Amino acid sequence: MKKTILLIEDNAQNSYLTTFLLESQGFAVVSASDGASGIELAQQTLPDLILLDIQLPMMDGYAVARALRTIESLKLTPIVAVTSYAMVGDREKCLAAGCNGYIEKPINPETFVAEVSTFLAS
């Protein structure tokens, strides 16, 4: 059975590239372009992994991660921040908000799927 990844990303180009890379490696991808719809979609689909942009309109990724962690059915779902925030302390801030990992943008198309896969339980 295909692993399902929820992508919460507001940039259409980033969303397209990420989806293309993941689907080409056999993952099913569902997408949301803002935090509120991402939270709703996460509850509906119960994905195997959530890829979360931090710079989102209306509700930033930190708030989304914290909200997702309060939902019982999603408490153990890995959340990986995929963000251009790369200053000292940004990784720690993502982890403190409830993310399990952090991938820096721009993503490397050659290594991205392998990086994402490390967060999925076999």
Angle at 61 between CA 33 and CA 1, to 5 degrees: 65
Domain around 45: 4-117
How many domains is the chain built from?
A: 1
Q: Residue 121 has what pLDDT?
A: 66
Predicted TM-score (pTM) of this structure: 0.96
Residue 122 within a domain:
no
Q: Residue 35 has what pLDDT?
A: 97
As a whole number of angstroms, the distance between CA 23 and CA 34 comes to: 21
**pLDDT digit string (tens) for 73-120?**
999 999 999 998 777 788 899 999 999 999 999 999 999 999 999 999
CATH number (domain holding residue 92)? 3.40.50.2300
Does residue 36 register a pLDDT over 70?
A: yes
Q: Are 24 and 5 in contact (CB under 8 A)?
A: no
